[in-house]
């Protein structure tokens, strides 16, 4: 949880689904160690596909480097311990019947001993403010709480770069503020795909505007998001 | 419906709750064999197995009414089956056998009410069940809650869109809604698959290893097994 | 034709994909009877059979068979229905349904034909199981066997008409990404 963020470089990423739809076209981006970058764009712009491609969960053209190493040259345990992804719906991610067991799931899958995995899980739950829910069934937690548990699941694996898909979706204002505060305190590099432009402004120093699978703009958050004409032209 | 109708576990600290889950499963299998085995004195056997079941329920500190609620549909089935046996060669024996099916169902409910799902999964893994089977149970159990929520929303939508109650109209809407529900389940599975792969999952859900059964567990199980064997011999 | 889009996924993830997809159909198999009950459709349409058949049309025979065995057991555990001893009997019926449908699809038999053959195989197992149950209850075995099949006639019709098109629809939605 205390490790410094990892750098993330992507060159020429392209993804075409089997149905023929091209979701990403030649997308390149750089995230420096500890940096927080927002990926904004309209529905169908390719934000989620980009995150899956960056995480190595989708194959396609181009390459992704984490801390200078190509992810295709890493073993799965190495990659998963370095690069975590948190999906929009926590129910797509939380699997185990007890919260602590779910957060420990990732480290256990990587071959860590049960004692170490549980210890990492407890630290991760503490980092996201959910220690009290360790013995609860996840389905009894609120939506915002399950989001935090999902983040803890990635942190427990030691992720130094976190990819987050619409982290504030479905959260009430208070939960949203809590989430922003939590993410701001994390040392990991963050790539946040979001419609929530306010979250992007509050959390991220840089924003990348994705439109129809291509990078339409890449710059300081306030520069990109204050350009109303640019946003309008790309469906936001 | 989230969690409340679908989770059979009734927390407690009774001897039955704390009994090693592997021994519980083995006792259940033994009990089912004794209850359903052909007998020259089926009514005596039914009385004996019912007494053992009720005794175990009392030992678990679970009010019989709470288990009976889950057997409500079975009672109707059992009644119909019992009526059917009136036309059989030996109505009394037929009715006793229907009763024995109900008793075994009760015993299974007692096991699920006194054992958290995590412990059951560990027990299955400990008894040598294939890892893929245990994984499928764990993942399906988790997905059932989200699927049930979605199904409730689907039913509400059906009722709003099909107020006229014509058979053809209702059938079409129900069919389309269920087809859509199935597709959404498959898409959720795809997202869950990404999430599991991102956490290093390779097909085996990590289950908590169980401690060696203590002398109390072995003693209690031996007593239960002895009662079953003696009862079997007496009612053979 | 099995579940789409393996080419985009990381190497070695195909078995995970099938396992999770089959698990989702198992979950649907637990929920569908509840939905049918809420809509007043009862059990005559064999609601648990439909998701199992769908799983069989989407994944390989081994995974489909496992889903077929797990579905009645998980439903029994979570809802109390079917009762545990009946879940054992249903496992055999559903396993026959799943293995035949998935196996035939693997050798490129058209979907509707695979479904029809699978339903016939399931009916054969149901007859055997129903007869054995009838004999055990002291009822005329053949009558019990036929009654088991006839009671599910509406469900059989539903499976024959809807299973293959539903599987094709699900595959299409999954391919669209």
Give the tens place of pLDDT for each residue, A40-72: 998 889 999 999 999 988 888 999 999 999 998
pLDDT at residue number B165:
64
- A100 interaction partners in chain B (CB closer than 8 Å): none
- Give whole-number Cα distances, C70 to A222, B96, B158, C28, C66, in Å: 53, 29, 29, 12, 6
Q: Point out the residue among A55, A85, A95 whose CB comes nearest to the CB of B139.
A: A95
Q: For B194-208, what is the mean pLDDT?
A: 91
Question: B173 pLDDT exceeds 60?
Answer: yes
Q: For residue C9, what is the nearest residue in chain B, using CA coordinates?
A: B194
Touching C: which chains, 3+ CB pairs < 8 A? Answer: A, B
Q: Kind and range of the H or E element at C85?
A: helix C84-106
Q: Mean pLDDT over residues C116-145, rounded?
A: 88
Q: Among candidates B211, B232, B233, which has minimal Cα distance to B23?
A: B211
Average pLDDT over residues A28-46: 93
If pLDDT is split at 50, 70 and 90, which confidence band does A150 have?
A: very high
d(CA A130, CA B159): 39
Average pLDDT, chain C: 88
Answer whether B188's CB lies under 8 Å from C24's CB. Answer: yes
- Chain C residues within 8 A of A58 when measuring between CB atoms: 8-9
Highest mean pLDDT among C87-91, C96-100, C132-136, C172-176: C96-100
Strands A36-40 and A206-211: parallel
Average pLDDT over residues C20-29: 96
Query: How distant, in Å, are the alpha carbons of A221, B30, B219 from that of B23?
Result: 60, 10, 11
Per CB-CB distance under 8 Å, the chain B contacts of A101 are: 118, 208
Q: Chain B closest CA to A90's CA: distance in Å?
A: 10
Q: B118 vs chain A: nearest CA distance in angstroms?
A: 6
CB–CB contact B200 A157 (8 Å): yes
* pLDDT value at residue B236: 77
Chains A, B: CB contacts under 8 A, how many? Answer: 81
Higher pLDDT, C117 or B202: C117
Confidence (pLDDT) at B94: 78
Is B209's Cβ below 8 Å from some Cβ in A?
yes
Give the number of other CB atoms < 10 A from CB of residue A3: 11
CA distances from C141 to A66, A132, C107, C136 (A): 68, 58, 36, 9
| Beta partners for residue A225, in sequence order | none
- pLDDT given at position A231: 87
> Hey, which residues 25-84 in chain B have their CB within 8 Å of chain A?
none
> Which residues of chain A neighbour B205 with C-beta distances below 8 Å?
95-96
Asked if the Cβ–Cβ distance from C10 to A56 is below 8 Å, we say yes
What is the distance in angstroms between the Cα of B215 and the nearest Cα belonging to chain A? 25
In this predicted model, what pLDDT tens digit does every residue of A152-169 receive, in sequence order?
Answer: 999 999 889 999 999 998
Cis, peptide link before residue A11, omega less than 30° from 0? no
Answer left, alpha or beta for residue A30, where phi above 0 means left and psi between -120 and 50 means alpha.
Answer: beta
Provide the percentage of residues in chain B whose pLDDT is more than 90.
50
The answer, yes or no, to whether residue B221 has pLDDT greater than 90, is: yes
Q: Give pLDDT, residue B2.
A: 46
Contacts of A76 in chain C (CB under 8 A): 10
For chain B, list the contacting chains (3+ Cβ pairs, <8 Å): A, C
In this complex, how many residue pairs, one in chain B and one in chain C, have their CB atoms less than 8 Å apart? 188
Structure tokens at A202: 């509050």
* Secondary structure in 3-state letters for chain A: CCCCCCCEEEEEEEEECCCCCEEEEEEEEEECCCCEEEEECCCCCCHHHHHHHHCCCCCCEEEEEECCEEHHHCCHHHHHHHEEEECCCHHHCCCCCCHHHHHHHHHHHCCCCHHHHHHHHHHHHHHCCCHHHCCCCHHHCCHHHHHHHHHHHHHHCCCCEEEEECCCCCCCHHHHHHHHHHHHHCCCEEEEEECCHHHHHHHCCEEEEEECCEEEEEEEHHHHHCCHHHHHHCCC
Weakest-pLDDT range from B86-95, B210-219, C100-109: B86-95
- pLDDT at position A233 is 87
Residues of C within an 8 Å Cβ radius of A: 4-5, 7-10, 172, 175-177
- Measured distance CA(A14)–CA(A8) in Å, rounded: 17
The whole-angstrom distance between residue C45's C-alpha and the CA centroid of its chain comes to 12
Q: Would you say the C-alpha torsion C11, C14, C17, C19 has a positive or negative sign? A: negative
Neighboring chain A residues of B197 at a CB cutoff of 8 Å? 57
Global confidence as pTM? 0.88
Task: Report the complex ipTM.
Answer: 0.90
Top mean pLDDT of A92-96, B155-159, C53-57 is at: C53-57
B9 vs B3: CA distance, rounded Å: 11
A111-119 contacts: CB < 8 A, separation 24 or more? A111/A77, A114/B206, A114/B208, A114/B209, A117/A156, A117/B206
- At residue B84, does pLDDT exceed 90? no
**Residue B44 to residue B50: CA distance in whole angstroms:** 10
Q: How confident is the model at residue B162 (pLDDT cuts 50, 70, 90)?
A: low
CA–chain centroid gap for B51, Å, is 20
C61-79 and B91-114 are packed helices; what angle lies between their axes, rounded to 10 degrees? 90
Contact B148 C17 (CB under 8 A): no
Q: In the predicted model, is pLDDT for residue C3 greater than 80?
A: no
pLDDT score of C176: 73
Rounded Cα distance, C40 and C35, in Å: 9
pLDDT digits (tens, 9 = 90+) for B1-30: 444 468 888 999 999 999 999 999 999 999
pLDDT at C6: 36
Greater confidence, C74 or A235?
C74
How far does the CA of residue C107 sit from the closest CA of chain B (Å)? 23
Better pLDDT: C90 or C44? C90
pLDDT of residue A139: 84
Average pLDDT of chain A, as a whole number:
90
Q: What is the pLDDT of residue C4?
A: 36
C9 contacts A57? CB cut-off 8 A: yes
What pLDDT, on the 0 to 100 scale, is given for residue B73? 66
Binned at pLDDT 50, 70 and 90, residue C145 comes out as confident
Q: Model confidence at C2, in pLDDT bands (50, 70, 90)?
A: very low
Shortest distance, CA B123 to any CA of chain A (angstroms): 15
């Amino acid at each position: 949880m205390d490790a410094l963020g990892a750098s993330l470089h992507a060159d020429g990423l392209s993804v075409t689904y089997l149905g023929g739809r091209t979701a990403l076209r030649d997308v390149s981006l750089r995230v420096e160690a500890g940096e927080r970058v927002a990926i904004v764009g309209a529905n169908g712009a390719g934000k989620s596909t980009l995150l899956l491609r960056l995480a190595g969960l989708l194959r396609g053209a181009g390459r992704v480097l984490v801390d200078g190493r190509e992810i295709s040259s890493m073993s799965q345990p190495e990659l998963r311990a370095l690069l975590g992804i948190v999906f929009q719906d926590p129910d797509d991610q939380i699997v185990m019947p007890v919260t602590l067991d779910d957060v420990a799931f990732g480290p256990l899958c990587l071959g860590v001993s049960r004692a170490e995995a549980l210890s990492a899980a407890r630290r991760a739950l503490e980092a996201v403010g959910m220690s009290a829910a360790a013995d609860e069934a996840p389905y009894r937690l609120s939506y915002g709480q399950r989001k935090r548990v999902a983040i803890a699941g990635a942190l427990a694996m030691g992720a130094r770069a976190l990819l987050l898909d619409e982290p504030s979706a479905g959260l009430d204002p208070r939960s949203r503020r809590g989430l922003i505060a939590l993410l701001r305190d994390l040392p990991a590099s963050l790539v946040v795909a979001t419609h929530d432009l306010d979250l992007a402004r509050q959390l991220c120093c840089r924003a990348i505007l994705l439109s129809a699978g291509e990078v339409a703009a890449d710059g300081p958050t306030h520069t990109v998001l204050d350009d109303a004409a640019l946003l309008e032209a790309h469906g936001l | 419906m989230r969690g409340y109708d679908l989770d059979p576990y009734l927390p407690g600290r009774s001897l039955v709750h704390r009994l090693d889950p592997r021994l519980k499963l083995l006792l259940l299998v033994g009990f089912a064999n004794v209850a359903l085995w052909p007998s020259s004195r089926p009514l005596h056997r039914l009385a004996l197995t019912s007494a053992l079941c009720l005794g175990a329920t009392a030992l678990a500190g679970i009010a019989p009414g709470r288990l009976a609620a889950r057997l409500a549909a079975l009672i109707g089935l059992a009644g119909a089956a019992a009526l059917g046996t009136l036309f059989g060669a030996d109505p009394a024996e037929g009715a006793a056998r229907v009763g024995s099916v109900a008793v075994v169902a009760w015993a299974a409910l007692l096991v699920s009410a006194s054992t958290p799902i995590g412990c059951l999964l560990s027990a299955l893994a400990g008894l040598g069940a294939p890892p893929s089977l245990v994984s499928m149970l764990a993942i399906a159990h988790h997905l059932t809650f989200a699927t049930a929520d979605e199904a409730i929303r689907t039913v509400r939508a059906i009722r709003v869109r099909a107020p006229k109650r014509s058979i053809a109209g209702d059938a079409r809407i129900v069919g389309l809604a269920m087809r859509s529900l199935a597709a959404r389940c498959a898409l959720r599975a795809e997202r869950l698959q990404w999430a599991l792969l991102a956490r290093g999952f390779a097909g085996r859900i990590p289950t908590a290893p169980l401690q060696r059964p203590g002398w109390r567990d072995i003693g209690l199980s031996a007593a239960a097994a002895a009662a079953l064997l003696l009862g079997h011999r007496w009612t053979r | 034709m099995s579940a789409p889009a393996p080419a985009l996924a990381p190497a070695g993830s195909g078995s995970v994909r099938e396992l999770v997809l089959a698990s989702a159909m198992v979950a649907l198999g637990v929920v569908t009877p509840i939905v049918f009950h809420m809509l007043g459709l009862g059990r005559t349409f064999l609601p648990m059979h439909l998701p199992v058949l769908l799983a069989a049309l989407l994944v390989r025979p081994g995974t489909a068979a496992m889903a077929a065995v797990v579905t009645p057991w998980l439903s029994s555990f979570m809802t109390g229905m079917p009762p545990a001893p009946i879940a054992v009997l249903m496992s055999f019926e559903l396993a026959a349904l799943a293995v035949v449908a998935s196996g035939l699809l693997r050798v490129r038999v058209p979907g509707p034909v695979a479904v029809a053959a699978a339903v016939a195989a399931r009916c054969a197992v149901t007859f055997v199981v129903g007869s054995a149950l009838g004999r055990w209850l002291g009822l005329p075995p053949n009558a019990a066997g036929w009654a088991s099949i006839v009671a599910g006639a509406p469900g059989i019709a539903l499976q024959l008409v809807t299973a293959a098109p539903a599987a094709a629809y699900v595959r299409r939605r999954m391919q669209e990404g």
